[in-house]
Chain A
């Protein structure tokens, strides 16, 4: 559903079917809509069988990296005598992304069911839902839903009378972007500073409290009950394109576009039709200039590149970018790319955890240079310096926050270099005066 707009006929609402429907929030309403049947079914299945169904479905992580979910689950060795943990990453902090928020606001039980199911599949008795601090409404909704689920015996010592223990806890973060990185999230859950950990060891070996842990995104977990109910084949066949990208995907659309919102389409949907047909195209009298298709950390596409792209993991890579988290940010021809990229860099500089040198210093320096160029005080040498700092920041740190800051800078300097040069030559922002005039 194109929430907050009416669903577009070309959407495939699976996760978003009940967005905007207050009755779906309640346990009774959710059960009427088919909820918790998948969990009941799953609790009667062997964990390995669930993992196989998810593997077969081709479901991939919806948080950004696109790692195959079934494969991730299979890393958890059953019977190793250790407590296993499932973490649900609801820290959704990637700029431009707001799909998990809607899942939690409207269909909290979908997530609880997915968590309980996932926990059973990986041999965990406890699942933690880590919600970002700013999500006050989703937190309230989730907490109410968890209470309901416990009250009705869906969770707890004897979940759905299966004899199996499944606990789901909701934990509120304190509002740090980096806590969406899985190892930083675990540190934060443990009560430590949210700094990413060095990998290896990977979470499946030593994660939360040093025990084997799986971390999945909200959208990923919410999709699992549907796969179990309808079968892996159903999920695979939904895809319009590559067999490596299956099912449906929520895209959050924001920026200079007529109908911003959440849209659910099947993998392989043409991006051009998505932008112009579903989202209504540019604002009156404007043209699209640049598109960030997968949250602020992925390379920026020119409108020509975007229009030729298919919306799936492989399609976006072919289009020179990544699917990422599915946060589509649209810039039209009224926007100054230097200013926009400087704004992105400032976000990363603010959110760097300060562990790695390249990130701590590089994000801040990049920001200072970009803001100086935007203010008309740049020199041509700055462009080379920016490229070199960016190279320094790429592939050398514990997590990818540093790389994510460099990515839009590279895109900007490769695709909109003339805008940077105009700022330096004219000693001011040309767009700013254009708007004023």
Chain B
């Protein structure tokens, strides 16, 4: 095997053998990481690539030839010519011993534990542990504790790996956790008068390899094996943390971070993590509607699209787009307003900036929308006030924008309103045409984050009723206005946008992968 492409050519490489495989890794790499690179998992608990090395769980012990003792592979650097055995009898025996000791005071309450099914204690015990227990003595007992924030501590399941303590110390720089007591009385303690209320504290739940730190929000909600997992991007601010959407029965039940060294490493903030209920809204538009006198009535897609196209023919499209829309949708909406000589604008909600000090350039950003940078790149103008200078002959196109907090009378008097959205706000009941689309969990697409990084998200669940993907609806509308479009796939829509928009030139879903690519000159000013 050769070095990863990201290694600078000046880095000194070290050659070693792990489980009979030749590996070449940069000097200073740990044996555990080198093994990972060679495709060999060394079981471990306290080690986490995003945290300082502790070397305390002693699970990752491996045999290094010519070394007198087993080596903790997380805390041992590779050396030239080293021969490492991960699965030798000696190493397996040691890890089996650790597992036995980790389990003697563990309540073995997997049937009622939220972590069950995604628990590293379970996994490694099945892989390398003893099938029986030799404990004849009573187990230690400690009560469950509320750690504040979204976090609950079940001390009986804790293996004292200290990942949570290290996260709060070095990443959050809010050292509220500690190891209290000594010996087997030791538990994770919380300093008096402090709670896990740091905006990023929820990450300790994901970092916990066992069921000791649990989310109160998802407590007893689903079992790990019942959920479907989808790679996505958090839409709750402009940071664009990579995440996994977990769904059960077409319902989003939990959001968790997905690693991306360039954006969020292994973390996501509590605001993003817990702000998912809107993705399951029940008051959704699920059929196209057209105006018949005083009523909006159900219509076939062809009828509704034709009605919208007819309104737009010869009129200026004034598009107000949501920052939650994908690049694909926004790129096509930009074509729509440019083609009709209209304009595009947007508004975005603001919150407080909340950085994670341990990671450079990672924060919950002030602007609470996924694709603000995309809107800017496509020429949409920010307009916080509702004075959009609507002419009486203009068509207002509301693209998934609810204009929350804005009075209907303040919007001005366009000739007609076309709603392309997921919901119908009460003041838009006067719309001429309503075209239902999916929200970002219901379609595929890309967002551009604050640094101009274009990142893909996948479809996690089905859209309600007859709602269709945003890019397909806008594409069909453009086709009726004489453009050569009509997209069945998000990748086709993205290719079309990439072909016409300079900032996206040369990009495709293949080049983006699942980690995204920063576009040239894409960073926010």
A355 within 8 A of B: yes
Contact of B55 among A361, A369, A398 (CB under 8 A): A398
| Residues of chain A within 8 A of B55, CB atoms compared | 198, 398
Q: Is the interface of B mostly helix, strand, loop or mixed?
A: loop
**Are B135 and A365 within 8 A (Cβ)?**
yes
Interface string of A345-387 (1 = CB under 8 A from B): 0000111111111101111110011001000000101100100
B136 in contact (CB, < 8 A): yes
- Are A395 and B70 interface neighbours, CB within 8 A? yes
Chain B residues closer than 8 Å to A389, beta-carbon distance: 97, 101
Q: Is the CB of B97 within 8 A of A354?
A: no
Chain B residues contacting A388 (CB-CB under 8 Å) are 97
Contact of B137 among A352, A353, A355, A369 (CB under 8 A): A369
Within 8 A of A (CB), among B123-137: 134-137
Whether B102 contacts A361 by the Cβ 8 Å rule is yes
Judging by beta carbons under 8 Å apart, are B58 and A356 in contact?
Answer: yes
Number of B interface residues in the complex (CB < 8 A): 35
Any A CB within 8 A of the CB of B307 = no
Residues of B within 8 A of A364 (CB): 140, 183-184
CB proximity of A86 to chain B, nearest CB, Å:
27
Which residues of the other chain, A, contact B104 by a CB distance below 8 angstroms? 361, 365
Would you call A397 an interface residue if the criterion is a C-beta within 8 Å of the partner chain's C-beta atoms?
Answer: yes
List A contacts of B100 (CB < 8 A).
Answer: 392
A391 cross-chain contacts in B, Cβ below 8 A: 97
A357-B57, A365-B101, A385-B134 given; A396·B183 CB < 8 A: no
**Interface residue? B75 (CB, 8 A):** yes
**A379 in contact with B136 given A365-B104, A395-B69 (CB within 8 Å):** yes
Q: Which of B99-120 contact A (CB under 8 A)?
A: 100-102, 104-105
* Distance to closest chain B CB from A195 (angstroms): 8
A358 to B135, CA, bound (A): 15
Beta-carbon nearest neighbor of B54 in chain A? A355
Contact A358 B69 (CB under 8 A): no
**A324 to B135 Cα, complex, angstroms:** 33
Task: Please provide the chain A residues from 184 to 235 with a CB less than 8 Å away from any CB of chain B in the complex.
Answer: 193, 198
User: Is B58's CB under 8 angstroms from A354's CB?
Assistant: no
CB within 8 Å of A: which of B186-217?
Answer: 186
Over the window 64-75 of chain B, the binary record of Cβ atoms lying under 8 Å from chain A Cβ atoms (1 yes, 0 no) is 000001101001
Q: Which residues of A sit under 8 angstroms from B181, Cβ to Cβ?
A: 354
Judge whether B262 is part of the interface by a CB distance below 8 angstroms.
Answer: no
**Contact, CB under 8 Å: A361 / B101:** yes
Interchain CB contact under 8 A, B101 and A362 = yes
- Separation of A352 and B137 alpha carbons in the complex (Å): 20
* Nearest neighbor of B102 in chain A, beta-carbon distance: A357
> Inside 8 A of A379's CB, which chain B residues have their CB?
136
B98 within 8 A of A: yes
Contacts of B69 in A (CB 8 A): 395-396
Q: Would you call B183 and A363 a contact (CB within 8 A)?
A: yes
- Say yes or no: A354 contacts B182, CB within 8 Å: yes
> How far does the alpha carbon of A11 sit from the alpha carbon of B58 in the complex, in Å?
46
Asked if A392 and B97 sit within 8 Å, CB to CB, the answer is yes
The answer to whether A352 touches B58 (Cβ under 8 A) is no
Q: Is the CB of B183 within 8 A of A198?
A: no
Q: Is the CB of B134 within 8 A of A358?
A: no
Using C-beta atoms within 8 Å of the partner chain, give the interface range for chain A: 20 to 34
Cβ–Cβ contact B182 & A361, under 8 A: no
How far is it, in angstroms, between the C-alpha of A372 and the C-alpha of B136 when the chains are bound? 10
Q: Are B56 and A356 in touch, CB under 8 angstroms?
A: yes
B237 in the interface, Cβ–Cβ < 8 Å?
Answer: no
B51 within 8 A of A: no
Q: How many Å lie between the Cα of A382 and that of B134 in the bound state?
A: 9
Is B329 part of the contact surface with A, judged by Cβ < 8 Å? no
Q: Nearest A residue to B178 by beta-carbon distance?
A: A193
**Which one, B105, B136, B179, contacts A361 given CB within 8 A?**
B105
Q: Which residue of A lies closest to B135 (CB)?
A: A365
Bound form: Cα–Cα A193–B59 in Å = 23
Instruction: Judge whether B101 and A193 touch: CB under 8 Å.
Output: no
Please tell me if the beta carbons of B134 and A381 are within 8 angstroms of each other in the complex.
Answer: yes
In the bound complex, residues from chain B placing their C-beta under 8 Å from that of A365 are 101, 104, 135, 137, 184
Which residues 155-195 of B have a CB within 8 angstroms of A?
159-160, 178-179, 181-186
* Contact status B159-A396, CB under 8 Å: no
In the complex formed, the residue of B with least CB distance to A381 is B134
Do residues A392 and B101 form an inter-chain contact, with CB atoms below 8 A?
Answer: yes
**B60-90, CB under 8 A of A: which get 1 and which 0?**
0100000001101001000000000000000
Whether B94 is near chain A, meaning CB under 8 Å from some CB there, is yes
A357-B184 contact given A362-B101, A365-B137, CB 8 Å threshold: no
Type the 1/0 row for B127-151, where 1 means its CB is closer than 8 Å to any CB of A.
0000000111100100000000000
Residues of B within 8 A of A355 (CB): 54, 56, 160
Q: Say yes or no: A351-B182 contact (C-beta < 8 A), given A365-B135, A372-B136.
A: yes
Closest to B77 in A: A200
Bound CA–CA A259/B183 (angstroms)? 35
Q: A354-B160, A381-B134, A385-B134 are in contact. Are A360 and B97 (CB under 8 A)?
A: no
Residues of B within 8 A of A368 (CB): 137
Residues from chain B with a CB closer than 8 A to the CB of A198 are: 53, 55, 72, 75
Residues of B within 8 A of A349 (CB): 183-184
Could you tell me if B182 and A353 are in contact, using CB atoms closer than 8 angstroms? yes
Which B residues are CB-close (under 8 A) to A396?
A: 58, 61, 69-70, 94, 97
- How far does the alpha carbon of A397 sit from the alpha carbon of B181 in the complex, in Å? 19
Bound CA–CA A198/B53 (angstroms)? 10
Minimal Cβ-Cβ distance residue in B for A354: B186
Complex interface: chain B residues within 8 A of A381 (CB): 134
State in angstroms the CA–CA spacing of A71 and B441 once bound together: 66
State how many angstroms separate the Cβ of A377 from the closest Cβ of chain B. Answer: 9
A357-B159 contact given A193-B179, A365-B104, A379-B136, CB 8 Å threshold: yes
Minimal beta-carbon separation of B329 from chain A (angstroms): 52
Chain B residue, CB-CB nearest to A371: B137
CB neighbours of A351 from chain B (8 A)? 182-183
The closest CB in chain B to the CB of A379 belongs to B136
Please give me the residue from chain A that is nearest to B181 by CB atom.
A354
Bound-complex Cα distance A388 to B185 (A): 22
Which of these, A352, A357, A372, A382, contacts B98 with CB under 8 Å? A357
Contact residues in B for A350 (Cβ distance below 8 Å) = 182-183
Set of chain A residues within 8 Å of B184, measured between Cβ atoms: 349, 352, 354, 360-361, 363-365
Please give me the residue from chain B that is nearest to A377 by CB atom. Answer: B136
Nearest chain-A residue to B68 (Cβ)? A395
Q: What's the minimum C-beta distance from A101 to chain B, rounded to whole angstroms?
A: 23
A190 shortest CB reach to chain B, Å: 14
- Residues of B with C-beta under 8 A to A382: 136
Docked CA distance A55–B514 (Å): 61
A320-351, CB < 8 A from B:
349-351
Distance from B163 Cβ to chain A, minimum over Cβ atoms (Å): 13
Contacts of A354 in B (CB 8 A): 160, 179, 181-186
- A194 to chain B: closest residue by CB: B182
Q: How far is the CA of A389 from the CA of B94 in the complex (A)?
A: 10
**CB within 8 Å of B: which A129-163 residues:** none
Which residues from chain B contact A358 at a C-beta distance below 8 Å? 58, 97-98, 101
In whole angstroms, how far apart are the Cα atoms of A382 and B137 in the complex? Answer: 11
* Chain B residues whose CB sits within 8 angstroms of the CB of A372 once the complex forms: 136-137
The docked-state distance in angstroms from the alpha carbon of A382 to that of B178 is 35
Q: How far apart sit A136 and B425, CA to CA, in the bound complex (Å)?
A: 76
| Closest chain B residue to A346, Cβ basis | B183
Query: Across the interface, which residues of A come within 8 angstroms of B54, CB to CB?
Result: 355
A354-B181, A360-B184, A395-B70 known; 5 new pairs, CB 8 Å cut-off, are: A357-B98, A357-B102, A360-B101, A364-B184, A398-B56
Give me the 7 closest cross-chain CB pairs, A-B, nearest first: A354-B186, A392-B97, A364-B184, A361-B101, A355-B56, A352-B183, A368-B137
Of the A-B pairs whose beta carbons lie under 8 Å apart in the complex, a sample of 19, sorted by A's number, is A198-B55, A352-B182, A353-B182, A354-B182, A354-B183, A355-B54, A356-B57, A357-B57, A357-B59, A358-B58, A360-B101, A360-B160, A360-B183, A363-B183, A365-B101, A365-B137, A372-B136, A392-B101, A398-B55
Taking beta carbons and an 8 Å cutoff, which residues of A are in contact with B? 176, 193, 198, 349-358, 360-365, 368-369, 372, 379, 381-382, 385, 388-389, 391-392, 395-398
